[in-house]
Structure 1
């Protein structure tokens, strides 16, 4: 993993994690571009309103812990991250998923422009 890519990716993901842990749907959505493609474990959505609605539907007390597995820089101003994420809940077992994100440099800073979760079982 390139040392110069990880801090950028962590900056975005740490804010996403803090907002998930705080159950702050609008704050989570602000981590994304206006036109982000978002695929959680429900049908996909495009844009911040759908992302906020998705996270608003998640149970209070849910937290996220991530581990970066791989990074790539496909082009200037773009970073690809492949992660393992543990979503912990108050009333059920932790769910481990794999997450691919494309992070884009915008005028407002780095934001997630593509988010795709896989649950491998």
Structure 2
């Protein structure tokens, strides 16, 4: 199948988390995991842009850092996360990636694939977009 004329180039994918976009995504998600596991919802929310587009494992999506904080406040106590970066890529002025996150709740385990877009805010990367989809595993 041929690409339509004028089709955008596909980004180069990086599975390596030691350099480039993979490293930046890995660092942001490591900070997310640390704050998530410790139930520091303010620290979790601070990793998102004020107008972040967020879709968690529920049915509602929203544009708000404050709503991100409220979402994470409803996560059951004792829930922990394991993060594995599948790949990362560069976008115009941003980074993107896919991660597999395994949530261990006190009474069950749930796995999700999460698409993330990061944007630069001064010297740090913040999450501009987060979309989680349960894998059924």
TM-score, normalised to structure 2, is: 0.82
Shift of 1:35: 0.6
Classify the secondary structure of the residue corresponding to 1:61: coil
CA distance in 2 between partners of 1:72 and 1:11 (Å): 14
Alignment of 1:34-113 (within 5 A): 34-42=50-58, 43-76=60-93, 78-90=94-106, 92-107=107-122, 109-113=124-128
1:114 alignment partner in structure 2: 129
CA distance in 2 between partners of 1:111 and 1:5 (Å): 13
User: Whose radius of gyration is greater, 1 or 2?
Assistant: 2
CA distance in 2 between partners of 1:80 and 1:51 (Å): 19
Unaligned runs of 5+ in 1: none
Classify the secondary structure of the residue corresponding to 1:5: helix
CA distance in 2 between partners of 1:62 and 1:46 (Å): 24
Shift of 1:108: 5.3
Equivalent pairs counted in the alignment come to 119
Shift of 1:72: 1.1
Cα RMSD, aligned residues only: 1.2
Shift of 1:75: 1.4
- Which region of structure 1 is more displaced relative to structure 2, 66-75 or 95-104? 66-75
* Residues 22 and 87 in structure 2, CA contact (< 8 A), matched pair in contact too: no
Classify the secondary structure of the residue corresponding to 1:58: coil
